[in-house]
A and B are shown apart, each in its own frame.
Chain A
Amino acid sequence: MSQQIQDQPLGGDPEGGEGEIELHKLPLDQWHRNKGGRMVPFAGYEMPVQYEGIMAEHIWVREHAGLFDVSHMGQLTFTGEGVEAALEALMPADIQAAKFSHPVYSLLMAENGGILDDLMLTRIKEGEVYMVVNGACKWDDIAHFREFLPDEIGLNHMEDHALLALQGPEAAAALERVIPGVSALVFMQGAAFQWQGHDLWISRSGYTGEDGFEISVPVDGAEALADAITAQPEVKPIGLGARDSLRLEADLPLYGHDLDTETTPVAAALGFALKKRRREEGGFPGHARIMLERENGSILKRVGLIVEGRQPVREGGLVVDADGNEVGKVTSGGFAPTLQKPIAMAYVPAASAEPGTKITLAQRGKIHSAEVVKMPFVAHKYVRKGA
C-alpha cells in the first residue's frame, strides 16, 4: 500500500506536519496515551486522532456523549477600558452590544476581505473579553492583536488552561452529575463554575452540531476533571478524526481548509457573523469589499455536496464545468458516518449554489457526480432558550 495519498485536514496543517518544528505536548498527553489514543501531529501538537475508531466514536457522540481535548486552541483574555471597541476594529462582531457571558462567533478580518481566523469571543464583564482561536492560527493571531490593538489593552494567553469539550445528546445529564448547575445554561451561554477548588468557565457550545459544553480548566485540574467526566457511563473520549467528520456534517467550516485569507465571509456563507451595526458603520478590515459582495454576490459560494456512490471526494478535489474547466474546489470532504454517504464542502460558482444543482467533481483523474444540498447535513440539536 502507498503512503496515504490524500490526508484529511488532520495532516493538512502547515504547522502540524512532522518536520523542523518540535511538536508540543498537550497537558493531557499521557492521559490520551493511557486511554489508547493514537497520537498524530496537528496544529503543532501531538493530538489523539482516534481511540477505538473514527466511525464508532462519531456515532457515539451522535447518540451519547464524547469528551474532546481541544487544549491546542488558543485561549486569550483581553482587558482594559474600551476593549470592546478596540476588538471591533479587527472583526465584524457587535461586541459593544454583546450580552455578558454569551459567546459570539466572529472572524478576524484581513484588509482584502479575506479571513485570518474564525473565533468565539465572550464578554465576561465591562472591559474584559475571553476569546478562543484556532490552534494552528494562535501565534499569528496573538502577533496580529499585539500589532493592531492599542497598548492600553492587555492580552493574556491562557497557556495555563486546558480546554475540554463534552458533546452529544447525553452531555448535559453526564456533566450535571459532575458539575451541578451546568444544565441550566442554554446554547451560547456561559458561566463561571467551581470544581474541586478549580475555577472553570463553561459555555454551552461546541463544534459537532450536538448539544454540549466547552470547559476551560486550569491545567493542574484538567486530568482529574477529564477522569471525572469520562467516568460517567454516557461518556467516551473522542479523537480529532471524529471531530472533523462531526463538524463537517454540521456545516461548521474549518479554518485553513474551508476558510482562509482568500475566502470572504460572503463567499463562505457566514453572513450571520456580519452584524447589522457593523455593516452599516464599517470600521473593520475588508468592509468595502464585503459590502460590495453583499450587494452583487460573490463569485464563488461555499455549499454542501452529497457525492454519488461511495467514494469520498476530499479536500483538493476540483469542481469542473461541462468543458472540464476548473471553476471551484472541494475544501473538506469525507464519508459521513451518520448519512453513510460521501459528503463535501466546496466553493462553487454562485450560479451553481442552489440546492438541487448537479455538480461535477474531478479527483485523481476520475469524474464524480454530486448534488448541492442544504446544510447542515445533519440537523443541529442545540438546546436553546425557551426550548
Chain B
Amino acid sequence: MSRYFTEDHEWIDVDGDTATVGITEYAQSQLGDIVFVEVPDEGKVVSKGDDAAVVESVKAASDVYAPVSGTVIEGNEALADNPALVNEDPEGEGWFFKLTLADTSELDSLMNDSAYQDYVSKL
C-alpha cells in the first residue's frame, strides 16, 4: 500500500485500484476543533478537483476536494456522530471516504510522504 499527499493537505492510501482519502495532521491542526463533517454517498462519481466533502471547525467551513477521480464506495459514517475523530486520528480512524480509482496515472502528480513533509515545513 502506498500513501500519497496533495498540496491541499489530503492523504490518499492506495491499495490496488481502491483509495482511502482523509486530511493530514497539519490540516487538522490548522482547522482546530472539528464539529461537523459531510462525506460523499456511495456511488457518487467524482473528478479530480471536485468538491467531495465538507469539514467545519468552530471557526470556519472548508471543502475537501477529490484528490483523484473515481467512484465513491464508502463514506466514513463514524464521523457523523464523532467529527472530533478527525482531530484525534486524522491519518487513521478519521478517514473521510474510499473510492475506486478511475485513472491510476493521476497518482503520479501527487507527493510522497517525504515530499509532503518538506512542503509543509516551508509553509
Q: Are B33 and A55 in contact (CB under 8 A)?
A: yes
Q: Given that A55-B58, A310-B83 are contacting pairs, would A1 and B33 also be in contact in the complex, using a CB cutoff of 8 Å? A: no
Cβ contact within 8 Å between B61 and A1: no
Contact residues, B32-72 vs A (CB, 8 A) = 32-33, 35-36, 38, 51, 54-65
Is A337 an interface position by the 8 A CB rule? yes
Is B58 touching A54 in the complex (CB atoms < 8 A)? yes
Assess the A4–B62 pair: CB atoms within 8 A.
Answer: yes
B3 to chain A, nearest CB (A): 17
B27 within 8 A of A: yes
Does A10 make an interface contact (CB < 8 A)? yes
- Inter-chain contacts of A10 with B (CB < 8 A): 59
Asked whether A5 lies within 8 Å of B62 as measured between CB atoms, the reply is yes
The CA-CA distance from A310 to B34 in the complex, in Å, is: 11
Q: How many residues of B contact A (CB 8 A)?
A: 25
The reply to whether A54 and B32 form a contact with Cβ atoms under 8 Å apart is: yes
Distance between Cα atoms of A3 and B30 in the complex (Å): 11
Residues of the B chain whose Cβ atoms lie less than 8 Å from the Cβ of A337: 33, 58
Q: In the assembled complex, which residues on chain A have CB atoms less than 8 Å from the CB atom of B61?
A: 4-6, 312, 314, 364
Chain B residues whose C-beta falls within 8 Å of the C-beta of A50 in the assembled complex? 32
Alpha-carbon separation in the docked complex, A55 to B84 (Å): 11
CB distance from A18 to the nearest CB of B (A): 16
Q: Are A335 and B56 in contact (CB under 8 A)?
A: yes
Interface centre among B23, B51, B56, B64 (most CB of A within 10 A): B56
A5 contacts B63, C-beta separation under 8 Å: yes
Nearest residue in B to A49 (C-beta to C-beta)? B59
When the two chains form their complex, are residues B36 and A311 in contact, meaning their CB atoms are under 8 A apart? yes
B1-44 at interface with A (beta carbon < 8 Å): 8-10, 23, 27, 32-33, 35-36, 38
Question: A8 contacts B60, CB within 8 Å?
Answer: yes
A50–B36 Cα distance when bound, in Å, is: 20
Main secondary structure of the interface of B (DSSP, over half): strand
Asked if A328 lies at the interface with its beta carbon under 8 angstroms from chain B, I say: no
Q: CB-nearest residue of chain A relative to B10?
A: A1
Question: Contacts A1-B9, A310-B83 known; A53 to B59 CB distance under 8 Å?
Answer: no
CB of A335 within 8 A of CB of B60, answer: no
Q: Which residues of B contact A58 (CB under 8 A)?
A: 58
Within 8 A of B (CB), among A287-317: 309-312, 314
* Bound form: Cα–Cα A241–B30 in Å: 13
Q: Which residues of A contact B59 (CB under 8 A)?
A: 4, 7-8, 10, 49, 54, 241, 334
Q: How far is the CA of A145 from the CA of B59 in the complex (A)?
A: 34
Please name the residue on chain B nearest to A2 by beta carbon.
B63
Measured CB to CB, the closest approach of chain B to A294, in angstroms, equals 37
Closest B residue to A314 using CB positions: B61
The residue of chain B having its C-beta at the shortest distance from the C-beta of A6 within the complex is B61
The A228-257 residues at the B interface (CB cut-off 8 A) are 241, 245
Q: How distant is the Cα of A58 from the Cα of B58 in the complex, in angstroms?
A: 11
**Which residues from B are CB-within-8-Å of A8?**
59-60
B33 contact from A3, A53, A310, Cβ within 8 A: A53
26 contacts between A and B (CB under 8 A): A1-B10, A1-B55, A1-B63, A2-B51, A3-B62, A5-B61, A5-B62, A8-B59, A8-B60, A10-B59, A11-B60, A53-B33, A54-B32, A54-B58, A55-B33, A58-B58, A241-B58, A241-B59, A309-B36, A314-B61, A335-B35, A335-B36, A337-B33, A342-B35, A342-B36, A364-B61
Listed in ascending order, the chain B residues whose CB lies under 8 Å from chain A are 8-10, 23, 27, 32-33, 35-36, 38, 51, 54-65, 80, 83
Contacts from A to B (Cβ < 8 Å): 1-8, 10-11, 49-50, 53-56, 58, 241, 245, 309-312, 314, 334-335, 337, 342, 364
In the A-B complex, the 6 residue pairs with the closest CB atoms: A55-B33, A2-B63, A335-B35, A4-B60, A311-B36, A54-B58
| Known pairs A55-B58, A310-B36 / 5 extra A-B pairs, C-beta < 8 Å | A1-B27, A8-B60, A55-B33, A241-B32, A334-B59
